[in-house]
Chains A and B, each alone.
Chain A
Amino acid sequence: MTAATNAHAPSAAPATPIFRARGLGKVYRMGEVEVHALQGVDLDIRSGELVVILGPSGSGKSTLLNILGGLDAPTTGEVHFRDHDLVNARDAELTRYRREHVGFVFQFYNLIPSLTARENVALVTEIASNAMPPDEALARVGLGERLDHFPSQLSGGEQQRVAIARAIAKRPDVLLCDEPTGALDAETGTIVLEALAEINRSLGTATVVITHNAIIAQMADRVLRMRSGRIASETVNETRRPPSGLEW
């Protein structure tokens, strides 16, 4: 708790918090047993910031990401995205919130198999108001040449970069990445992380990456370590290392 509350002003990050969470708790009931997935988590995330959340399985990092993404509601506490109250929002409001403000990158890419790379991106840009052209989004992740390939014709890393292009094409305020390199080898993972870092730098999209992989923490502005549903520690990196410089 103290680590988290002390961590409000990382020097490197810009000033305005876009996420503000206070006293977040989440209790799952598994039959007779109560599982405390989150316990009193306080957290601010600022615009343009790249935050890596580390922690073992069951530490609560996915639950936290789900709540930030409007996919799950906390049992206690409050979360605001700018002036949106994410705790008391109805389903339709949360859908709009995800649609307008959030980009998701999943561990297993979750591309639509019946659509080409370009069409997978277009799927999202069609419903966004200020989207970039799908070709541009794919060019930003280095896939300008494979626009018309279907997911089954792409490697895992390529698929994940399509997923990133899909997530950033609508110019979201925040990019939430759940183990984005979890299914990839080191080399491919590096390429994907470079794409994420590049987007974060060039578009100024606040980026939250959750991962088991502690090495990835070196590319972040700020690193949160979670254990047993709490933020156990927080580290601010003076300098971010480029993904190509990470040693896996």
Chain B
Amino acid sequence: MLALRGLSALDRKLLRDAWHYRGQLGAIAAVVVCGIALFVSLRSMNGYLRSSRDAYYGSARFADLFVSVRRAPLRVAREAAEIKGVVSADPRIVTDVVADVPGLPEPATVRLVSIPVPAAPMLNRVHLAMGRWPSEGNDGEVIASRAFLTANALTLGDSIGVVLNGRWRWLHIVGAGISPEYVYEIADAGVFPDNRHFGVVWIGRAALETALDLDGAFNDMTLSIVAVRDTQAVIEAVDTLLAPFGARGAYARDEQVSHQFLTGEIDETKVTAVLLPAIFLGVTAFLVHVVLSRLVSMQREQIATLKAFGYTHAAIARHYLLLALIPVLGGSAIGVVLGAWLASGLAEVYARFYQFPAAPYVLQGGIAVAAVVVGGGAGIVGALGAVARGVRLRPAEAMRPEAPRRFRHAAFDGVMRRLTTSVRSFVIVRNLERKPSKTLLSIVGLALAGGLVIATLSMYDAIDAILEQQFFVVDRGDVTVTFREPARIAALRALARQPGVLEVEGFRAVPIRVRHHASDRRSVLFALSPGGALRRLVGSDQVAREAPESGVLLASSLAERIGATTGDEIDVHLLEGRRRVVTLTVAGVTDDLLGSAAYIAPSALDALEGSVELFSGASLRVDARHRDLLFRELKSLPEVSGVSIRAVALEGFQRTIEESFGIALVVTLGFACVIAAGIVYNGARVALSERGRELASLRVLGFTRREVASMLLGEQVVLTVISFPVAFAIAYLLGWLITVRFESALFRIPVVVVPTSYLLGTVAVTIAAVASAWIVRQRIARLDLIAVLKTRE
């Protein structure tokens, strides 16, 4: 079997013991494999994403500050560059337009970003993944974002149609690019990218200048600064400089959407890279403890003999530590390989979401070494107790059989008597009661397995809840149209005349800066149509409410960020129109899931602005029969800068969720089953070893295999069933942790777990437990009935 020549006798024993207990050590190794694979893959991803991001931001000169204005002359940009602390200021033209993309029936929204031709921009350099830079004098040539091209199956040479300042233009794609500004390429107020319907297109400045009447001017600027600590001072200086030009408030990277998402993901892997492996390695230490403790008990006579022959304590300790380390180090090695493989898969998934010129993933030696150290550490921690017991054994004492297991009447006897008359149930309960810490840890381990599955499923549930809330409760318009400029009611009437439009409901969205004490946030002030049915203000209580006639209603995430509560007065700087600064009372807080907006009654907004009612966009209810016709019309309406179609967005979200969470779910499910199986298998094997003689006696007394198995495995059944409610609590706790971690200005994840998820979690653990119990049950059939008549335990 094994080439043992050259090994010491004790090491031969070690290898033979390891082989003999391969089932139990194998179960431990399986848990280690999962834990280390998670450690390696998540740690790797954390480092990989962070280093890819930092390297890319550096090489592509990702800007530190961002600001948009209505129209400012280029000399203002030069003045901005002179501001103390500013390294460079890059003025440009940015505008959203509706696009007709070949093969896409619905209109897409394209963000046109100007670039100098033939030179590259100073900041936010576009990296060409394919093709070439637009040529000078050729206004129709553009670089489109790689994700947009891929999602729409477009190639270089294809064209997309846009309406630019009332004129239909064809844009010819000559390059595919990526930019540090759009690593996560997402429309404003989105959560998941929909690369088919939103894309960034870089176009020569000359083409936009003329079309948007911005000759010698700009409407957007990015800046790089000397040091992060200067951020706030520079923002204030820039805001002062740009105030006369309709500035919407400068903001730093931490409010830049793509950066927020990418950094959120990196932070997330940092937490999970600790939390998940800790769960698995904790279970590992527990299983090592259980198995090795039993082994030392069974081998007490062998230990005594070894000591009698003069083996030192150190030799004994080394022997049993090595026995623990065999599955742990073996599992760690496999875990490193599996983790590296998972990491390369994850890198591919990230590459679909995050657009950077990522280097291929390579496992770092440091992480592999750390993994083995961490895995080995878990094994040693688990082994210490049992090893110490082996070392402490006095030879003379160890030669005698172990004292019989002591039981006493316990707390549960009274309860048990009321529940059952069967003494077989007493055997189960008293065995569990006798080792409370082992029982407790088994329950916690099984509950962690179930909790992991439920928590993962609850992510689906939470996202479903967000989608349900957003697409069926809050925003019920089939199509949402955004106007290029705030428009009067005539624009709504024009929309109502479009084919298939059944209902039109206008809304106003004013970019604002909100100040409360020292806190300062950018947000959007919504004025929704009173009594509207298509776009409503609905909190988690599902009740539609109206914005107050006086004062302002804040989304809870905004209220928390600026530390405002109902009754507080806040300063609101309207960054559109006359750009007034007003003081408003917080009339209430609403718990929106997406965004962090503020709400006001349209009449109140009109009064503040001192203007007639204006609309930023409209929600439309549409006759499905005329959808295609309407879409064609929308693609060419000059006043429309963006179109979003509810059904398409919903489908895109769901597809994205399938792609991104599917893998996580399969991995979690599999790994959680390994935990459950490992605990049940080792628990039952150790119980069988401790009580094999007792069970064989029962077989002699006429108990059937099934009855004996039920007494042994009944313990595991009780542990598993008790673990379910604990798993529910753990899942809820994990869900809450995820909520807290994920909560951002962009979206909040509600803690939602639907009954099916609880059910699936318990089913997964049950299947794993039953499968491993079944393997142990086969051993009950092999109990030696004759040996028990003669042997003493």
Contact = CB atoms under 8 A, between A and B. Distances in A.
Contacts of B785: 71
B424 A123 contact: yes
Given A98-B700, A119-B426, A113 B405 contact: yes
Contacts, number: 98
Contacts of A123: 423-424, 427, 698
B409 interface: yes
A95 B702 CA distance: 5
A69 B693 CA distance: 17
Given A92-B704, A115-B427, A152-B407, A178 B790 contact: yes
Interface in B412-451: 422-424, 426-427, 430-431, 434
Contacts of B427: 112, 114-115, 123
B785 to A, nearest CB: 5
Contacts of B3: none
Contacts of B790: 62, 107, 178
Interface string A44-57: 00000000000000
B645 to A, nearest CB: 67
Nearest to A91: B705
A201 B408 CA distance: 35
A183 B793 CA distance: 13
A100 B792 CA distance: 26
Contacts of A113: 404-407, 694
B202 to A, nearest CB: 76
Contact of B701 (A119, A124, A152): A124
A124 B693 CA distance: 17
A24 to B, nearest CB: 16
Interface string A87-120: 0000010011111101010111010111110010
A99 B431 contact: no
A108 B792 contact: yes
Contacts of A114: 405, 407, 426-427, 430-431, 434
A72 B786 contact: yes
A112 B792 contact: no
B702 A119 contact: no
A179 to B, nearest CB: 8
B703 interface: yes
A151 interface: yes
A151 B423 contact: no
B144 to A, nearest CB: 73
A137 B508 CA distance: 89
A126 B693 contact: no
A127 interface: yes
A107 B786 contact: no
Interface in A128-157: 148, 150-152
Interface in B364-423: 403-409, 422-423
B702 A115 contact: no
B699 interface: yes
Nearest to A167: B701
A contact residues, range:
35 or more
A188 interface: no
Contact of A150 (B408, B705, B789): B408
A122 to B, nearest CB: 5
B613 interface: no
A152 B409 CA distance: 12
Contacts of A152: 403-407
Contacts of A124: 701-702
A65 B789 CA distance: 10
A164 B791 CA distance: 18
B707 interface: yes
B734 interface: no
Contacts of B426: 114-115, 119
B423 A71 contact: no
A228 interface: no
Contacts of A99: 701-704
B159 interface: no
B788 A106 contact: yes
A110 B407 contact: no
Contacts of B793: 108
Interface string B709-732: 000000000000000000000000
B569 to A, nearest CB: 70
A167 B409 CA distance: 24
A115 B423 contact: yes
Contacts of B434: 114
Nearest to B403: A152
Contacts of B704: 92, 95, 99
B789 A178 contact: yes
A194 to B, nearest CB: 23
A16 to B, nearest CB: 23
B482 interface: no
A98 B701 CA distance: 6
B697 interface: yes
A150 B792 contact: no
A102 B789 CA distance: 15
Nearest to A72: B786
A127 B707 CA distance: 10
Contacts of B698: 112, 123
Contacts of B788: 106, 110
Contacts of A183: 792
Nearest to B424: A123
A213 interface: no
B688 to A, nearest CB: 15
Contact of A122 (B423, B697, B702): B423
Nearest to A121: B423
Nearest to A163: B697
A35 to B, nearest CB: 14
A90 B703 CA distance: 15
Contacts of A150: 406-408
A108 B426 CA distance: 22
A108 B786 CA distance: 13
Contacts of B792: 108, 183
A38 B621 CA distance: 95
Interface in A50-95: 62, 65-66, 69, 71-72, 92, 95
A110 B424 CA distance: 16
Given A95-B699, A123-B423, A150-B407, 13 more contacts: A65-B789, A71-B785, A72-B786, A95-B702, A100-B702, A104-B789, A106-B788, A113-B694, A126-B423, A150-B406, A150-B408, A167-B701, A178-B790
Interface of A: 62, 65-66, 69, 71-72, 92, 95-100, 102, 104, 106-108, 110, 112-116, 119, 122-124, 126-127, 148, 150-152, 166-167, 178, 183
4 closest A-B pairs by CB:
A99-B702, A110-B697, A98-B702, A114-B430
30 contacts: A62-B789, A62-B790, A66-B786, A69-B700, A71-B785, A99-B701, A99-B702, A99-B704, A110-B693, A110-B697, A112-B698, A113-B404, A113-B405, A113-B694, A114-B407, A114-B430, A114-B434, A115-B423, A115-B426, A115-B427, A119-B426, A124-B701, A126-B423, A127-B702, A150-B406, A150-B407, A151-B404, A152-B406, A152-B407, A166-B701
